[in-house]
Amino acid sequence: MKILHVIPYFNPKRGGDVNVCYHIAKHLAKRGYDVTIFTTDFEFDEKFARTLNGVRVVPFHCCLNIQLFLYSPQMKKELKKEIKNFDIIHVHDFRTYQNVVGHHYAMNYHVPIVLQAHGDIPFFEKSRLKTLYDFVWGKRILNNTTKVIALTKVEAEQYKKMGVNPNKIEIIPNGVDLSEYENLPERGIFRKKYGINNDEKIVLYLGRIHRIKGIDLLVEAFADLEKEMDDVKLVIAGPDDGFLSILERKINDLKIGRKILFTGPLYERDKFGAYVDADVYVLPSVYDAFPNTVLEAWACGTPVIVTDRCGIANLVDDKVGCVVEFDKSQLRNTMFKVLSNEKLRRKFGENGRKLVDERFDWGKIIDRVEKVYSALKNR
C-alpha cells in the first residue's frame, strides 16, 4: 500500500501533530508500507526528517505564511501530478492550505482521504480568518473526507457539531514509542546539569510556550506555593511560541525569578532526564485535545497534574495523577498535596507507566490506523 501523509510543517518543536505524523510514518514503514510525507520548507528540520528510515520526506517551498496558512504552489503542482499514485492520503491538521489542495485532488482522482485535526476543530480563539476558512472550505472538506480520526470522545463530538457523519469518525488516541523509554537516564543527571539541588522538589512544565497552555496560571499558583515550600523549583522547558516575553514579565512582577528555570527546548535524552528528575509534571492547559507530554511523563513514571480542560483528564482521575479546575488556588493546593506525599507520587508514577504500557504503545495504535487504511483500500 502506498500512503501519503500531508502536513504543513515538519519540525518537532511544533508539537503533537508533527510527533504523530512522524511516528505513524515510522511504524508503517517498518511494517513494509511505502510511505511518503509532503510538507513545506517552513521551519523544516532536515536532521529530524533524516531519522525517518524508509520514509520519503519532501519539503516544498512555502511562498506565503498567513497565520500558519502556508501557501505552496509547488506542493499543489506535485499533488496534482502524483496523488493518483497513492492508495491513501492522510492529512494532518484542519485549517490549512494543504487540506484545501489535498482534498481537491483526492476528490478528482477518487483517492480515499483520512483527516486528523489534532484538536484543531474547536472554535477556541477563532479568528475571522478561521471563520472565513470554514465558510469557504472547512465544512466542505469535512463532508468530503472519507474518514476522520478523533483523539478522544470529546473531539468526536466536536466533529459531529461541524456536521461530520458519525459513521466517518474513528477514535484513535496518540501513543508513545515505549522502546525509547527502556533505558532512561539515571536520576540526578538533569539536576546536576542545571544546578538543582537534590533536596529541591521539581515542578516541570514541558511543551510549547504558548498562551493556550496556561503557563501563566502555573506561574501564579507556583508563586503562592513557594511561599510555603521553600525547597521547590519550577522548570519551564520548551520553545517560545509567542508567549515567553509575557511570561517573563509576570515572573518579574511576582519576584520569583530565582525559583524558575527556563531551559529552552529539550529533546531525546535531555527531555527524558527532565521527566525522570521531576517530582510532578503539570499541564495547566486552557485547552488541549490530547497532549503527548502527559503520555511521555507517564512513560517515565512521573505523576501528572492537568486541568479539566485537557482532553484526557478522564484518564487521570486520581489514579495516575490529579485533575484540577482552571483555578490558581486549586492548582496550588494540589501541587502542595502531591509534592508533600512521596507515597502518592510513587503510586501515580507506577500507575502511569502501567497505563501507557497497556493502552498507548505506538505498536497498538498503529494496528488501529492500519485497520482504517485497509478498510478504505478494500471498500
Among 128, 62, 72, CA closest to 100: 72
Locate all alpha helices (DSSP H) within the chain, ordered by sequence: 16-30, 46-50, 73-82, 97-108, 128-133, 139-144, 153-161, 189-194, 215-225, 244-254, 268-277, 292-299, 313-316, 328-339, 342-359, 362-377
150: left (phi over 0), alpha (psi -120 to 50) or beta: beta
Predicted TM-score (pTM) of the model is 0.86
Q: What is the pLDDT of residue 122?
A: 65
Q: What is the pLDDT of residue 127?
A: 67
Tell me the pLDDT tens digit for each residue of 270-291. Answer: 999 999 999 999 999 998 888 8
For the beta sheet containing 260-264, the strands, ordered from the edge strand earlier in sequence to the opposite edge, are 260-264, 232-237, 201-206, 280-283, 304-307, 321-324
Q: What is the pLDDT of residue 125?
A: 53
Map out the domains of the chain as residue ranges: 2-175+361-377, 179-359
Question: Residue length, the chain?
Answer: 379
Topology of domain 179-359 in CATH is Rossmann fold (3.40.50)
DSSP one-letter string for 301-365: T--EEEETTBTTHHHHTTTSEEEE-S-HHHHHHHHHHHHT-HHHHHHHHHHHHHHHHHH-BHHHH
- 88-92 and 69-71 as β-strands: parallel, antiparallel, unpaired? unpaired
Q: What is the pLDDT of residue 288?
A: 85
What number of other Cβ atoms are within 10 A of residue 293's Cβ?
25
Domain 2-175+361-377 has CATH 1.25.40.340: no
Tell me the one-letter amino acid at 242: G
Topology match between the domains 2-175+361-377 and 179-359:
yes
Tell me the pLDDT tens digit for each residue of 77-108. Answer: 999 999 999 999 999 999 999 999 999 999 99
> Which residues face 91 on adjacent strands?
6, 115
| Residues lower than pLDDT 50 in the chain | none
Q: What is the pLDDT of residue 119?
A: 80
Q: What is the pLDDT of residue 319?
A: 85
Q: What is the pLDDT of residue 290?
A: 87
